Amino acid sequence: MNFKSIPLFKVFGIQVNLDFSWFIVFFLITFTLAEAFYPYYYPGHSFLVYLFVGAISAILLFASVLLHELSHSIVAIKHGIPVREIDLFIFGGVAMIEEEAPSPKVEFLVAIAGPLCSFALAFLFFILAYFYPQNDLLNGIINYLMYVNLALGLFNLVPAFPLDGGRILRSIIWAKKDIITATKVSSWTGTMFAYFLMLLGLLSLIQGSFINALWYGFLGLFLKNAAKVSFEQTKLSVILSQYKVEQFMHTIKPVLPDETISEFMLHHYPMYNTRIFPVIGKDGKIYVVDIFDIKSIPQTQWDTIKVADIAKPLVAYVSPYDTLMKALKLMNRYQLNELPVIYGNTVLGIIKRDVIESLLERYMLQEKFGR
Ligand code: ZN
């Protein structure tokens, strides 16, 4: 979570956040609907009424986007891929799906769930409009939601990674070749689609519709960047998922509960090239001590204070059989550079960020020199 977004609620264990940029789109949609759409098709009301109906429509659009993202998330969770949060922001929503799909089939199912949900919603509002044909504002809201959900489903089906359609394209190529080639191709179509949107922005500018130009321009920039980042992310994930933590960890012996800081500094600290040290607490649980915490304690007290007394509870750790990808994700999430490697209740070692980074550098070099 960051200070740029407001935590809304939790559903199916997924935290839903509202990004501040969403308010821009909320006001834009509310005003556009209140000034143009509703007065044109449903005349005869005051501006305040239109504003109210516009705001309700914008909130229901937001609910539709949320349901779209939830569909992706539920299918992902069903296939064992954790989803931590959904962020709603200016261009819609993003479900923070934690891992790459384990297979092309799962990727396909997760990707198609969103557009299918939007089409189902469009169909639902189509039925509602059929049974409520009165030419009033309620009918207006129903019609609006039918069109936006249809548009949401169609736009997301454009085969431009990382849009859903791009993910579907990727899953199909992945099934025939490999994930890297698949991501390369679908990121390329994603970038091309981004340029196409920017071109539309330029044409709108020439025609004098400034708001449309801005809209297309920003959306194009956003998608172009997202395609690039997603490609890098996939490459990283593919490389790091091949290796297990045990292959890269430094073995380490834990500090025992009765060791004083002096004993630790003499016997333990010089042996290992790490910053954190796992400590067995008096309760038998595993804690960690950071060398910086020790250095802040005056040396005169080192004989009397035990390491276990200043150790902190574990924030995160990995098992030796976890992938390096999982280790890196945990490090990023908790802003750590080292993680204890623990199996059962046994401390085995430490996995360090710089070891993972140097592995990635080797891959980068290999790519540069064409293997
Ligand atoms: Zn989607």
Q: Which domain holds residue 359?
A: 245-368
- Give residue 239 CA to ligand 1 midpoint distance, Å: 26
State the distance from the centre of ligand 1 to the C-alpha of 94, rounded, in angstroms. Answer: 8
Q: Which of 11, 126, 150 is nearest to 71 (CA)?
A: 11
Rounded Cα distance between 131 and 144, Å, is 15
* Whether residue 250 sits in one domain with residue 208: no
Q: Which residues of the chain have pLDDT under 50?
A: 1-2, 371
Residue 148, token pair as written in the block: 């936006």
Single pTM value for the model:
0.74
Q: Are residues 119 and 42 in the same domain?
A: yes
The Cα-based distances of 86 to 2, 48, 246, 346 in angstroms read 13, 32, 32, 35
60 and 127 assigned to the same domain: yes
Is 223 in the same domain as 333?
no
Task: Give me the pLDDT at residue 146, please.
Answer: 92
Q: Tell me which of 240, 273, 291 is where a domain ends.
A: 240
CA angle 22, 25, 28 (to 5 degrees): 150
Cα 194 to averaged position of ligand 1 atoms, centre (Å): 17
* Final residue before a domain boundary, out of 240, 273, 299: 240
Cα-to-centroid distance, 36 and ligand 1 (Å): 28
Pairing mode, if any, of strands 338-343 and 276-280?
Answer: unpaired
Instruction: Compute the distance from residue 145 Cα to the ligand 1 centre, in Å.
Output: 17
- The pLDDT assigned to 311 comes to 86
Q: List, in sequence order, every residue forming a beta bridge with 306; answer none if it has no partner.
A: 260
Q: What is the pLDDT of residue 1?
A: 43
In a domain, 101, yes or no: yes
The CATH number assigned to the domain holding 283 equals 3.10.580.10
pLDDT per position as a tens digit, 303-348: 888 888 888 888 899 999 999 988 998 998 889 999 999 998 888 9
Going from the Cα of 139 to the center of ligand 1, the distance in angstroms, rounded, reads 27
